[in-house]
Each structure stands twice: as structure tokens, then as C-alpha cells.
Structure 1
């Protein structure tokens, strides 16, 4: 028994030592960063800039891979089957924290992810085509009240923040809308440009469409008006007590060595401070929202509880 115990102890010591060596030499090869939305949208563009900056700091490329769909949860799901070595990272949008309440999964969004760093958050709003008869938010609401279920709007996917927040707005106003989900901002922009939907709920991925004269913004969802759209009222100004900015960051598989998490955190924090990244964010009225690993973990715990309340309020919880 004593001999077996010593062998097990030696094996455990070797494993810990091996992890220490790996952490010291990390990274020794390219790192994959999986993001939750398609190429060409604001998340893809800003995260590619961040990844490029971080790769230069780490001395190895950080390669972005797009995995859109499933309310932005596919990258987080991928972490559950990836080695905890720091070479597979994922964007963690807010939709991840809703998963256990809306679908059956065999992992825990709080406990089964190593939270590395929060990097930014979205600025959201509702926009309509430039030639829409809805000149302002009152027009939108009046039509919806007169035509229940006929006003179609697109979002970046079922159970994403744009979808759920719009449904919360509709519930507060007593209106019924027709939701049409897309895989991301790029697809949504194509849909509204082609006249397939009457409105869009999105992050300010619609900013280039506004600049091109293709859409008009009716409201935004932050605490205060956006610098890029100073004439557009917030939901709070319109009498709705709703604020949504949906912070997101980067996670690694559960069990990733703390030394590796720290190295990744430090590199991405430095990458966030680069002017190139801040310029990329500014193009979509996004700003750096920094949380270190401990703060981001606490945010995950708090958000997990808060999203349960929202899902239940909207009647979208999965049956037991």
C-alpha cells in the first residue's frame, strides 16, 4: 500500500511539474480564438484586431475562427471538449449564461469555464430602413399596437441579447412583434437591406448602414446617448426602464493552469490598450470594458443569476 501511494504521489508530482514547465514555455504554438458570430460583423472585426495585437505580444499567432449560431454558445461549448492548455480560447457572450434555463446541457457555464478577461461590450439599438414609414419610436409602437404580430424585426439570433431585450421592451409596452433570427450582424444587414424585415435589433453593427444612408436608428439601449448618434433617444428617455450593454470576454477550458491564464490575461489586457483596438471598437460605438480574471468570474456568477430572472419573466424557461 505504501509503495503504491508513493508511486501515485510521484506521478502527481511529475504531472504538476509538467504543467509548470508547459506554463513557462507557453505559448509554443499558435492559439485558436473562437468567436460566436460570423465574419464581417462588429464582433469579428474588433476581435480580429485584438487577436492580432495579442499574438504579437505572446510571440505566437492568435488565429480567429468563427462559429456562429446557437445564440452565441458554440465557442463555449467547444471549450468543454478542448484540452485545458491555453491553446483554445472562446468568446463568451451573455447568451452563454442563459443556456441551462432554455435548453438541456451537461455542463455549467460558471464552473466549467476558466474566465480569462472581459474586453468590451455592445452598444445596442433598434433601426429601420431609411425609407420606412416609422420616422420615430412612437410611429413604431403605434403600428405594432394597431397590427399585433405583423411588425417583423430581425436579431442576431434566438435568445441573444438583441432578441430578449426587444421582447422585454414589447412586453413592457403590451405589443406583439414578429421575430426573425439571423446568425449575426452581417446576415441581419443583408436582410434589412433586401427588405426582408421591417426593423432590426442589433449591436451598433448597423452604424455603417446609417453612415451609408440605408437605415435610421429609433433608439439605443445604454445609460446615455451614443456619441455617434446624439439625436437618438435611449430607452430610458422613452420611458422604459431598460439598459443593455452585454459585456463579453474570453474564456478557456476549465482546469487551464493559473500561470497560463495569467499569461493570456496579461497579453490580452496589453492588446486592449493598443490604439488599433480602441479605433476598431470606436467604429461601432463600443468601448473597452476591462475585468480581470477574478472580476470576470464574479461577473459570470452574478449574470447567471440575473439571466434566470429575465428568462422566467419572458416565459421562455424550458419545461422541467
Structure 2
């Protein structure tokens, strides 16, 4: 029996690898997973089988990943919501300690977009309108407690305006609602709306970062800071796995993922979809997790978002 186990490890992977995406098809995380899928056979020797598990702002998918066998055959994509859910007391697990970071792919700020035919040209215009029409504007996001939801609530509080929040199961659903005029604003990852902004259907009013986005489609969009608001929120996408994988399987998986993420075609595809490529290896990602966890913990507690989201979930 011992020799059979050893042989299996030596051959890893000898079957397709399940890749859990905790949000619906069409969103930024899903699109990143599809890009990874393209080079999996080349660099890992087996395909990735993408499984979308949307719901509860990512917790359904991450819960399944935490409880999966740590055999290297179930991995998933991570986002900064990993740090938020435990703060709200609504997740079954403390994801930063229950999951193992393998490699970071990108780090991209959240943006605020509206339909192009709206009269507002920037966040300042929208704030002025919202103050004259309290409670009239609704913003959509990819789930209660998600990073875009936090940005929306923080923006509303910082600007001293009243916005109603509308959660969706995915960012793509939120965009559909925006285009259908069921909501007026969406806080979202730029990759999900790049083509809509490029085609002139949507426009970007603000970027939640200290700097402008590199992508030419968004390069002229003002930051919140330039408009008088200290909002710095982004989302880091990475690859994670259940804890306690055998060392040799972990090493083989990391080697394959590093090759996939550092492939020039992968970087080009990531940037083409509007994300900001930022590769970190396993140790660098672990360090980033410590920093990000502390930053987000302080941010949501100081802004009162934790209490707000807890009350909304009751």
C-alpha cells in the first residue's frame, strides 16, 4: 500500500484538477480562471476543471475548498473578501488561516461606473446629485460583504450621502442590472466592465487607488483621492489550496502555477481584460496576506462597515 501512495505522488497530477471559482460565470475571477485554464495542460500536464460556486459573496465556494481533500486535486481562486468574511462573523472558517496561498496573480483597484448617458462626469457630480435627491440612487455589487460592497458603503459614508445597496450573485449580474437601469451605480473590478467602457456604454467616475489605472481604457479616470475622498480599495486575485498538502505535491503544483502565471501570454491576457498584473510567489503572497488582513480589518472597523454589514445580514 505504501508503494502505491508513493507512486501516485510521483505521478502528480495524473488526473484533471478541480478549480473552484466562488462567484458566477462572467465575473473577473471567472475570467482569470479561464485564462489559467488555457495553459494548465502545458505547465501542469493536466487540465483545470473550473467549477463556479456562487453565493454569499464567495463563502460557499471557499467553504467547499477548505473542506476539500488536500491532495492537490482541488484548488481555487482567492480574492480580498477572504479577509472580510471572518470579520463579519458570517463565515464558517477563518479563511486566511484555513487556506494556503500559492501564488498571486493580480492586484487591481475597484472602480465606480455608471451608464454613459448619465449626466455625472465624476464622483463630485454624483455626490452633488445624491445630496439633492437623497435615497434615490442605488448601487450594485457582487454580494453583501464583498470588497465592492465595502467600497460603496465607505464612499456613501465618506461623501455624507445616502445610497441604497443592491447585492447580486456576481459582478456580471450587477452590470446587467446597471445596463437595464434597475440601479444607477456599480462598484466593480475594471476587468468586468472594460469592454462596456471601451464601447461607450458605461463610464468610470472614480478609481479607488492612489494612482490612475495603467490600462488606456481607464487611464483618464480620476481617483477618489483626486476628488477629495480617501478611498483605497482593491482586490488581489491568487491561487489557494486546502491546508496540509503533501510537500512534494505542493512543490509540483507551485512550480506549475508559477510557470503559468509568468507566461508572457498570461500576463498579456490579464492586462487585456483590464486587470493589473502583479505576480507574487508563495512567500511574498503570505507576507501580502498579513498586510492586507491588517489593513482591511482596520478599514472596515474604523468606518463602521462591520456593524453595518452585520445589521444588513440579520
Question: With structure 1 as the length reference, what TM-score do the two structures score?
Answer: 0.88
Deviations 1:249-301 (A, max 9, x none): 11111111122222112111111122332232122321322222222223223
**1:305 to 1:135, Cα distance in 2 relative to 1, 3 A:** closer
The alignment status of 1:209 with 2:196, answered yes or no, reads yes
Aligned mates of 2:5, 2:280 — CA distance in 1:
26
Structure 1 match to 2:119: 133
Indicate yes or no: 2:214 matched with 1:220. no
- Confirm whether residue 270 of structure 1 aligns to residue 259 of structure 2: yes
234, 241, 246: which one aligns with 1:257: 246
Could you tell me which of 176, 187, 194 is aligned with 1:190? 176
Determine which of 62, 67, 72 is the counterpart of 1:81.
67
**Shift in alpha-carbon separation, 1:248–1:18, aligned structure 2, 3 A:** farther
Q: In structure 2, what is the equivalent of residue 101 of structure 1?
A: 87
Match of 2:279 among 277, 282, 290: 290
With 86-95 and 99-108 compared, the bigger mean Cα shift is at: 99-108
Q: Which residue of 1 aligns with 2:30?
A: 44
What is the aligned length? 305
Query: Equivalents in 2 of 1:83, 1:310: separation in Å?
Result: 34
CA shift digits 1:294-316 (9 cap, x unpaired): 22223223333332223322432
Q: Once superposed, what is the RMSD of the aligned Cα atoms?
A: 2.1
Which residue does 1:53 correspond to in 2? 39
Provide Cα deviations, 1:43-99, integer angstroms capped at 9, x if missing partner.
Answer: 222221112213321111111111122112233211222111010001111112112
CA contact (8 A) 2:205 2:221 kept: yes
Among candidates 170, 177, 181, match of residue 156 of structure 2: 170
Aligned to 1:239: 228
For residues 173-226 of structure 1, the C-alpha deviation after alignment (integer angstroms, 9 at most, x for no partner) is 211211111122221221111111111111111111112221111111233212
Q: Which has the larger radius of gyration?
A: 1
Q: 1:196/1:26 Cα in 2 relative to 1: closer, same or farther (>3 Å)?
A: same
The structural deviation recorded for 1:18 is 6.9
Partners of 2:139 and 2:152 within 8 A in 1: no
Q: Please, which runs of 5 or more residues in structure 1 have no aligned partner?
A: 1-10
